[in-house]
Amino acid sequence: MRSESGPDAISPKRIEQIQERLLEWFREHARDLPWRRTRDPYAILVSEIMLQQTQVDRVIPYFERFVERYPTVGDLAAAPTADVIRIWSGLGYNRRAVNLQRAAVAVSTQFGGTFPDQSEQLRKLPGVGAYTAGAVAAFAFERDVVFLDTNMRRVVSRLIFGNGSPSEKEVLAAASSLFPKGRSWAWNQALIEFGALQCTAKRPACIVCPLNQCCEAFPTMQSTLAEKRTAARRKTGDPFETSSRYFRGRIVKVLRALPSHDNAGIELTQLGPQVRDGFSPQDLPWLQGLVEGLQRDGLAAIAEESPHYDTDTDQSAPFPRVRLP
């Protein structure tokens, strides 16, 4: 292992060692996941969107149910958005469902139902960023493309930069130096799997790691992690249960429970008590702001308004109603 760090310091011999050891580890430890048994770009896109900020074990049943309900990109593109949001129920981050359908519509309308096979074109799809575009290009079409998610970035950063804080540009350059041409599917899957199972964020198995002799972080990893855990315990912040994302999720949950044939929706005054304990009329502007944000994201629709009597003005005033789009 070299004392220097960075892509310029990686010798060809060290690159070869990292490649061989990581690919061998993957052959022995790769999990049998449903999206690894296909080269269908649609199924791979579904899996990648679902896997954003969600653990693999939780995604598997949702993925299988989703592709059974919508087996092709055309089926998803033609589905009512409200139904797509309902089948997504329980997976969280509901905006992903809407973005996934928007991407399906774009494939159907702009590309004639056939997925583009280059990451640059895939990035033009709604809600598809650099990582997702690279994943579809690599895992569906086996294109030689370098991309990074959280796990991949952590593995490359530790291997090449130790416990420092390299920039995204530096990590991407290092990942490019390590990339074995013609092995895109196996290599990128291996990086993801290694970060998920071996080189984890909080408890990396460094002692039994096949790459520890190639890794800049190995000598000081345990002391660095101990320092980070101590610093994290000192931090305080607002709990998730008071965040806008938490309440947005509760709103969508209520809307999902409405009868699918009911387009009238629910009045804000009825919605509020189901979203937040102690809800009062003074909270209506806050609730309406959340609903309007959900509408902008394609997760809700503000329906017709219902008249009510405004005691402050002695006039009839409307309460908005909201439903799934």
230's enclosing H/E stretch is helix 221-234
CA dist., res. 32 & res. 37, Å (int): 8
Q: Output DSSP code: residue 77.
A: H
253's enclosing H/E stretch is helix 244-257
Q: How many helices (H) and strands (E) does the chain have?
A: 15, 3
325: Cβ–Cβ under 8 A, 6 or more apart, which residues?
81, 82, 85, 98, 295, 298, 299, 300, 301
Q: Output DSSP code: residue 113.
A: T
Residue that the structure tokens 């009839």 belong to: 316
Residue 276 tokens, joined: 């937040």
CB 104 within 8 A of CB 73: yes
Catalytic center residues: 48
Largest Cα–Cα separation, the chain: 82
CB 142 within 8 A of CB 185: yes
272: Cβ–Cβ under 8 A, 6 or more apart, which residues?
279, 283, 284, 287
CB 165 within 8 A of CB 87: no
HSE-up of residue 254 (Cα within 13 Å, Cβ side): 21
Closest listed residue to residue 238, CA positions, set 228, 246, 249, 248? 246
Based on the number of CB atoms within 10 Å of its own CB, is 168 exposed (0-12), middle (13-18) or buried (19 or more)? exposed
